Amino acid sequence: MEVKLNNDHAIVTCEYRLRRCVIGLTLSLLTACGEAPSELSLSTTPTAEVVIHCGALIDGIADKPLANQLILVDQGRISSVVSADQTGTKADLSQVGISEEVAYIDLSDSTCLPGLINTHVHFDGNPEDSVDYSIYARRTPAENLALVLANAKTTLLTGFTTVRHVGAWFPNAVYQARDQIRSGEAMGPLILTAGPYLTIPGGGGDLTFPEIPADQIPAESQLGIASTPQQFAERAEAAIKGGADFLKVIASGAVFSIGTDPGAPEMSQEDIAAVVRVAQQYDKQVTAHVHSDQSGRDAILAGVDSLEHASLLEDTTIALAQQRGVALSMDIYNGTYTDTIGRSQGYPEVFLQRNTQTTEAQRAVFKKAYAAGVTLLYGTDAAVLPHTMGGWQFATMIEHGMTPMEAIRSATSVAADHLRISADVGAVMPGRQADIIAMKSNPLTDPLSFRDVEVVIQAGIVVKQPSPPES
């Protein structure tokens, strides 16, 4: 693989990328940018400032890869995708009306895909924090922001150009990072964030510690705590007005929390429905953290758009999810990480016990949900899993029923459709933002290749490429 660029693009510094990124990344990518251009034929005069030459292209839509394709990028968006059979090299581009001054990215020995989407991340934490959760109460706002930005950059470089940030104890840091990235001030994926966890007092989303007095817990971590449907409605509206792109309810206990039980319901159906009604007023989605079957059923009947984890769902609830069009984001790899690395790092025994309780059960639910035709979204619960390991779950999804192409779509077009951002991301096609990843291995036969994505392009700008060999 060789990323060949003309002189203007030979060295893409972070600062240059950020200046150019503003062209393709507006303050919000949640609205369509007008009608997508029609597919370009070689008989027309293309417009492009960047041409990406892919040896094979998995576009996120088609059932099979397309061989030898050119992706034409103009103003950070894809203007056309055409066969390279009549061109092949940059020198040949002038034959089809493309300027010799265009930046030419040669990935003719690689497989290209759309930038990936992770629907379950937490940039405000890392796995090692699980050894001592009180660190969340000790970090300063500046430290929280720095942590979120660092994890966002790491995630982008693993190939994930869009993420859904499903709740935070300190949502302001995530809002700031999201806005800095969208404005081009910082490097990272497009972030959609839920803002604060909506949770009961002492529930799975409440930041509490036996050794820290309640009056010393940072007030920002308590923004989503409520006890009645009316209070939940008020907290939901405040979260949206505060900057949340969608809402997250903690309907059951959690694996990584103090004093809760994953199998125990925490919010009532009425509580969840109150949040959903507010979200619908603002045209926002709601996702629900659930492990217990009762919580999953309550959340579905209350009208949520998706469930996170869904570890203990019974067959009837899986069927209900399929009937109601509720998607599942299931982090089926990270249990392995927790049971090995987490155990060696000294995670609290109760966290390890809960992980054992939910991991195999969740994988069994995944198989059943896939067989039932439930929409499955790619989500890793990053923070429980290191942010460097975003691509490690693909192989596990395939092991538990999905085809390789279905697993890829769960992190591209399927995720984009569910999140209502398919006008901008999720596929390589005209009109979409030019978020492209590439690898020499064929990911359809080698899903482990997602563990080391070699090239990442965001809005037509190379943000990661292989290091040159040492002389």
Domain spans in the chain, listed from the N-terminal domain onward? 7-114+428-464, 116-418
Distance of CA 86 to the CA centre of its chain: 36
CA atoms within 13 A of residue 359's CA, in its CB half-sphere: 17
Calculated CA dihedral for residues 349, 350, 352, 355, nearest 10 degrees: 180
**Tokens 């989500």 belong to residue:** 379
CATH class of 116-418: alpha beta
* CATH classification code of 7-114+428-464: 2.30.40.10
Beta bridge partners of 322: none
Identity (one letter) of the amino acid at 464?
K
DSSP string, 399-430: HTT--HHHHHHHTTHHHHHHTT-TTTSSS-ST
Going by C-alpha positions, the residue among 347, 318, 321, 319 that lies closest to residue 256 is 347
What six digits make up the tokens of 33? 């940018």
471 residues of the chain, pLDDT tens digit each: 545 443 333 323 333 333 333 333 222 222 223 333 233 333 344 567 899 999 999 999 999 999 999 999 999 999 999 988 766 565 566 655 666 678 899 999 999 999 999 999 999 999 888 778 788 888 999 999 999 999 999 999 999 999 999 999 999 999 999 999 999 999 999 999 999 999 999 998 888 777 777 777 888 989 999 999 999 999 999 999 999 999 999 999 887 776 677 778 999 999 999 999 999 999 999 999 999 999 999 999 999 999 999 999 999 999 999 999 999 999 999 988 888 887 888 877 778 888 888 899 999 999 999 999 999 999 999 999 999 999 999 999 999 999 999 999 999 999 999 999 999 999 999 999 999 999 999 999 999 999 999 999 999 999 999 876 665
E-state strands within 207-337: 247-250, 286-290, 306-309, 327-329
- Distance (Å) of CA 177 to CA 142, 153, 327: 11, 10, 27
